[in-house]
Amino acid sequence: MGGERSRDHRDIAKGDSVDLETIPQQARERIEKISKADLLVGVLADHANDAPAMVRQALAGFNETPRTVVFQGDHVAASPNGADAGSVDSGAAQEEGVFVVPWTLLSPDASVSPVQSMANAYQFILAAGDKLGVQACCIVGSDLQTVTSEWISRLVQPILQGGFDLVTPCYAHGKFEGLLNSSLISPLNRALYGTRLQNPLGPDLSMSRSMFQRMLGAEQGNKPAGSQTRTLASLAPTAICGGFKICQAYLGPRTFPPTDWTNLSSLLVQVLGPIFLDVERNATCWQRARPPVSPPIVGERMMMAEDKGAVDVRRMLELFQLGARDLPEIWGLVLPPTSLIELRKLSRLQPDQFRMPDDLWVHIVYDFALGYRLRTISRDHLLRAMTPLYLGWVASHSLEMENAPARAVEQRLERLCHVFEANRSYLVSRWRWPDRFNP
Amino acid sequence: MWDQARQALTASMNKLLSETASLLPGVVALIVALLISALIAWVLVAALRRSLAGIHFDERVNRWGFTSLSEWSPSNSPTLLVARFVFWLIIFFGFLVGIASFDATLTSQLVHSMFAYVPNVLGAVVVLLAGNVIARFLARSVLIGAVNMNLQYARLLAVGVKWLVIVLAVTMALEHLKIGGGIVNLAFGILFGGIVFALALAVGLGSKELVSRSLEREASKTSGNGVEEPFRHL
Average pLDDT on A354-359 reads: 94
Least confident among B15-24, B36-45, B99-108: B99-108
ipTM of predicted complex: 0.83
Q: What are the Cα distances from residue A198, in Å, to A233, A297, A346, A405, B78?
A: 14, 11, 29, 19, 49
Q: CA A205 to CA A42: how far, in whole Å? A: 10
User: Residue A338's pLDDT is what?
Assistant: 92
Taking alpha carbons only, the member of A158, A155, A270, A264 closest to residue A202 is: A155
Taking alpha carbons only, the member of A203, A139, A218, A211 closest to residue A169 is: A203
User: Residue A261's pLDDT is what?
Assistant: 72
Residue with more model confidence, A265 or B218: A265
pLDDT of residue A4 exceeding 70, the answer is no
Residue with more model confidence, A28 or A189: A189
Residue with more model confidence, A426 or B64: A426
Mean pLDDT of the residues in chain B = 81
Interchain contact B141–A (C-beta under 8 A): yes
pLDDT of residue B196 exceeding 50, the answer is yes
B230 to A307: CB separation less than 8 angstroms, yes or no: yes
The DSSP letter of residue A139 is E
Total H helices, total E strands in chain A? 21, 8
Confirm if A232 and A122 have CB atoms less than 8 A apart: yes
Mean pLDDT of the residues in chain A = 82
pLDDT of residue B224 exceeding 60, the answer is no
Contacts of A311 in chain B (CB under 8 A): 229-231
B232 to A178: CB separation less than 8 angstroms, yes or no: yes
CB-nearest to A326 from B56, B59, B147 is B147
A67-81, A307-321, B213-227, range with greatest mean pLDDT: A307-321
User: Residue A421's pLDDT is what?
Assistant: 93
**Taking the model in full, what pTM does it have?**
0.78
Confirm if A347 and A321 have CB atoms less than 8 A apart: yes
User: Residue B212's pLDDT is what?
Assistant: 66
Could you read off the pLDDT of A131-146 as tens digits, one per residue? Answer: 889 999 999 988 888 8
Confirm if A280 and A287 have CB atoms less than 8 A apart: no
Contacts of B139 in chain A (CB under 8 A): none
CB-nearest to A311 from B137, B143, B230 is B230
User: Residue B108's pLDDT is what?
Assistant: 76
Query: How many CA atoms are closer than 13 Å to the CA of A287, on its beta-carbon side?
Result: 13
Q: CA A289 to CA A114: how far, in whole Å? A: 36
Torsion of CA A190, A193, A197, A201, to 10 degrees: -100
Average pLDDT on B61-68 reads: 66
CB-nearest to B148 from A265, A377, A378 is A265
B231 to A176: CB separation less than 8 angstroms, yes or no: yes
